[in-house]
Copies of this chain bind each other. A is one copy, B any other.
Amino acid sequence: MINKYIPSVKDAVVDIFDGATVMIGGFGEAGSPIELIHALIDQGAKNLTVINNNTGSGHVGLAALIENGQVGKMICSFPRTANSTVFPDLYTAGKIELELVPQGTLAERIRAGGAGIPGFYTATSVGTVLADTKEHRTFDEAAFSGKQYVLEKAITADFSLIKAHQADRYGNLTFNKTARNFAPIMAMAATTTIVQTSNQVEVGEIDAEHVITPGIFVNRIVTVSNPMQESKLIAKGVSYP
């Protein structure tokens, strides 16, 4: 029988290894799997490459993971955020690497990684410093002619940590509003996709027409009944651990 539920966030992240590439869902706090991130802080894996749109805020969640010295490199589109000091300080001190990727290119590179597409072309970043080292080419087809495009390469990961609204034991997922953001594509792009949800549902409760992430993309699910809210923790001045 297929049952992807496991007992705890600790079990969920137990095999994340030093040097692993880890995608973390969320756009700001919306969709951030904060309990999974904190479990990864407890677990202690080092020299991680982390993919997220941002670099976290305050001293909890992703910012705390970075602050704890576990992240060697960030791949993101916007490493400055309100209440974000951890990454900027480390970056300025030369203690963390940054690969800056335009947000849509980041999303599409992740989707490509999940879809078995090693590379694709886009007009995004053409003529900017971010395209300086990229391969350029043109296309003759009418809809795309007369412009330059750059080759962008897929991003894949060893692990993805994401937050879902509902999950059944097959791993079928739904998401809540704009907390969906990067989660469905990150679920596709990782060898091991780890999900936290506050709503464990029976198989069949999610209508087959409404499934956003089919279970095939999910490896482990853990129930976090009352997930913390990043902005509330920050407002209280909480630091993790």
Contact = CB atoms under 8 A, between A and B. Distances in A.
Contact of A209 (B117, B144, B156, B174): B174
Contacts of A122: 116-117
A119 B139 contact: yes
B119 A120 contact: yes
Contacts of A143: 113, 118, 154, 156
B117 A119 contact: no
Contacts of A212: 209
Given A113-B143, A209-B174, A210-B209, A118 B149 contact: yes
A114 to B, nearest CB: 11
A177 B210 CA distance: 11
A153 interface: yes
Interface in A100-127: 108, 112-113, 115-123
A118 to B, nearest CB: 4
A143 B188 CA distance: 14
Given A209-B174, A210-B209, A141 B117 contact: no
Interface in A131-158: 139, 141, 143-144, 149, 153-154, 156
Interface in A189-214: 208-210, 212
B174 A153 contact: no
Contact of A121 (B120, B144, B174): B120
A121 B123 contact: no
Contacts of A208: 177
B121 A139 contact: no
B123 A120 contact: no
- Which of the listed residues A117, A141, A210 has the most CB atoms from chain B within 10 Å of its own CB? A117
23 contacts: A108-B115, A108-B117, A113-B143, A116-B122, A117-B120, A118-B121, A118-B139, A118-B141, A118-B144, A119-B120, A119-B121, A119-B139, A119-B149, A139-B153, A141-B153, A141-B154, A143-B156, A174-B209, A175-B209, A177-B208, A177-B209, A209-B210, A209-B212
